[in-house]
């Protein structure tokens, strides 16, 4: 791996998706949709980096469990958990791809010391999104709106409201008939 020569304090991007009807993201630790275009967007965005570098993805324990307790390929997978020993087998099997930390601040401090990390993405779930959206090092939000309707009784996880006092919508792109992408940037502090 080669160092990221554009090094500065690690900032991160939130990336996610929600339903158009009520900002729902999941039920019983599963996504509420299966959308190929959304998945391609996610994989491409979180994997794309210069040769010799890798991106990092940060997720909560439930999100890691929901993807089968295996790392998403070509990215450093960071799991936030208060009990990292529960993943010792996975860490032993994929030592370069899985890291456990207990807080988002601990993750960012650790990433500051890894020179080959190019970009960092928070990928969920709900509790981590809520924490990350108010964190001073969140510089961008990429969110896909999936055009489906889901009853709230079949939802137990939602994407948080994006605070307009902190973020500005800079681009809205219709990716397909069923997926619209929104890109927000953090407003500069004066």
Structural domain of 147: 12-186
Residue 7 forms part of a structural domain: no
Residue 150 forms part of a structural domain: yes
Residue 139 forms part of a structural domain: yes
91-133 per-position pLDDT tens digit: 999 998 999 999 999 999 999 989 999 999 999 999 999 999 9
17-54 per-position pLDDT tens digit: 999 999 999 999 999 999 999 999 999 999 999 999 99
- Torsions phi, psi of 66, nearest 5? -70, -20
pLDDT at 190: 47
Q: Answer yes or no: is pLDDT of 7 > 80.
A: no
* pTM for this predicted structure: 0.92
Q: Answer yes or no: is pLDDT of 189 > 90.
A: no
Q: Answer yes or no: is pLDDT of 182 > 90.
A: yes
For residue 171, cis peptide bond before it (omega within 30 degrees of 0): no
Q: How many domains does the chain have?
A: 1
Question: Mapping DSSP to helix (H, G, I), strand (E, B) and coil, where does residue 86 land?
Answer: helix
Residue 117 forms part of a structural domain: yes
Residue 80 forms part of a structural domain: yes
Under a CB-based contact definition with an 8 Å cutoff, are residues 118 and 98 in contact? no
Residue 2 forms part of a structural domain: no
Q: Residue 48: give its domain's CATH number.
A: 3.40.430.10
pLDDT at 186: 95
Residue 140 forms part of a structural domain: yes
């Amino acid at each position: 791996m080669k160092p990221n020569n554009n090094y500065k304090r690690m900032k991160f991007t939130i990336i996610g998706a929600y339903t158009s009807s009520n900002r729902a993201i999941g039920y019983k630790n599963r996504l509420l949709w299966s959308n190929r275009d959304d998945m391609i967007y996610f994989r491409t965005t979180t994997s794309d980096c210069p040769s010799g570098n890798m991106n990092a993805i940060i997720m909560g324990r439930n999100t890691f469990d929901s993807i089968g307790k295996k790392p998403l390929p070509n990215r450093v997978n960071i799991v936030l958990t208060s009990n990292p020993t529960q993943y010792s087998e996975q860490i032993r099997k994929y030592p370069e791809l899985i890291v456990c930390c207990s807080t988002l601040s601990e993750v960012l401090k650790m990433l500051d010391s890894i020179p080959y990390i190019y970009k960092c993405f928070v990928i969920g779930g709900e509790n981590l999104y809520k924490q990350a959206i108010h964190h001073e090092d969140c510089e961008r939000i990429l969110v896909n709106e999936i055009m489906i309707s889901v009853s709230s009784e079949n939802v137990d996880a939602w994407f948080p409201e994006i605070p307009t006092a902190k973020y500005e919508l800079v681009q809205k792109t219709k990716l397909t008939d069923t997926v619209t992408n929104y890109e927000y940037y953090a407003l500069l502090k004066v």
